[in-house]
Amino acid sequence: MEQGTIEKLSVLIIGSGPAGYTAAIYAARANMKPVLYQGIQPGGQLTITTEVENYPGYPEGIQGPEMMVHFEKQASRMGADIRYGLATKVDFSSTPHKVWIDEEKEIHADTVIISTGASAKWLGIPSEERLNGYGVSACAVCDGFFFKGKEVAIIGAGDTAAEEAIYLSKLCTQVHMIVRRDQMRASKVMQDRVLSTPNIKVYWNSETDEILGDKKVEAVRIKNNQTGDTQEIPVSAFFVAIGHQPNSAIFKDYVEMDETGYIITVPGTTKTNVAGVFAAGDVQDKNYRQAVTAAGSGCMAALDAERYLTSIGH
């Protein structure tokens, strides 16, 4: 690519999960000629989810990757310009906003919609990767239903892990909760709830040694980090709830975030502290993190961007 060529846009959308594609659908229909860069994982987290049963309009359920293909096709059909490429640097210190793609292409955009999502944190053991989608999951709310009436394990000690353990306890016969230390990080009220739920068994001072199973999860081997003893627990699923990492690092010099990197938006809107920069989906939502809420905020971001463009006379 030749140096010195700058592309000027009204709307640039960074990221391609439900939030980014929905923003593209709305912006394209409003004739804002949006350009969307898909980023490192086109389709986002849903491309590593197998069955999606909780998105309205799919009575039979749908595979995550297939659903994202539908979103992409719809955005394209409306006229959104969808491209491969990764935003690697931004400069939001003046208008128009500057964004560099793959470190070389420079874009000047009147509005930017950040929908870069969040990535689940994983333990990093090979069996976890191998069985991902075959009983290993980072979303109990998404996948717990498939293990109704079975025994499952969950690892984590924060509010999300506690919440997900309680959610699973209503579906599964037994929930084995693996906690690394001798206490949880979760709020007192959540801990009390976990400890008073009869079918949640907590394993303190324990680490996951290995997830066992050939084609699907069959058991988990845990190790007591005080005694070094190991034990195998037969389970049908293994849920990882050790947190999410919002994909927001390249914006940190300009956009306000909380201590964990989630972008802060004005309540009830997708507006950030930078005029003309909006954030939608999991990059700004640590509470719900569902496909349907991400899509809803993508719609909001496109409408917010459209109003902003009108206000500056575009």
Catalytic residue positions, numbered:
139, 142-143
Which of 224, 239, 167, 159 is CA-nearest to residue 192?
159
> What's the number of CA atoms in the CB half-sphere (13 Å) around residue 172?
31
Q: How many CB atoms lie within 10 A of CB 273?
A: 14
Three-state secondary structure call for residue 19: helix
Cα–Cα distances (Å) from 75 to 91, 143, 174, 213, in that order, read 27, 27, 43, 40
- Rounded distance between C-alpha atoms, residue 245 and residue 138, angstroms: 12
Residue whose structure tokens are 């230390």:
181
Residue with tokens 């947190």: 243
Give the C-alpha separation, 251 to 100, whole Å: 12
What element of type H or E holds 9? Answer: strand 6-14
- Strand 136-137 relative to strand 237-240, pairing: parallel
Q: What is the DSSP letter of 283?
A: G
Residues 181-203 as b or e (16 or more Cβ within 10 Å = b): eeebbbeeebbebbeebeebebb
Give the helix/strand (H/E) hosting 224.
strand 219-224
Q: Left (φ > 0), alpha (ψ -120 to 50) or beta: where does 4 sit? A: left
What angle is formed at CA 70 by the lines to CA 264 and CA 148, rounded to 5 degrees?
Answer: 75
- Report whether the peptide linkage leading into residue 96 is cis, meaning its omega lies within 30 degrees of zero: yes
Contact 14, 251 (CB under 8 A): no
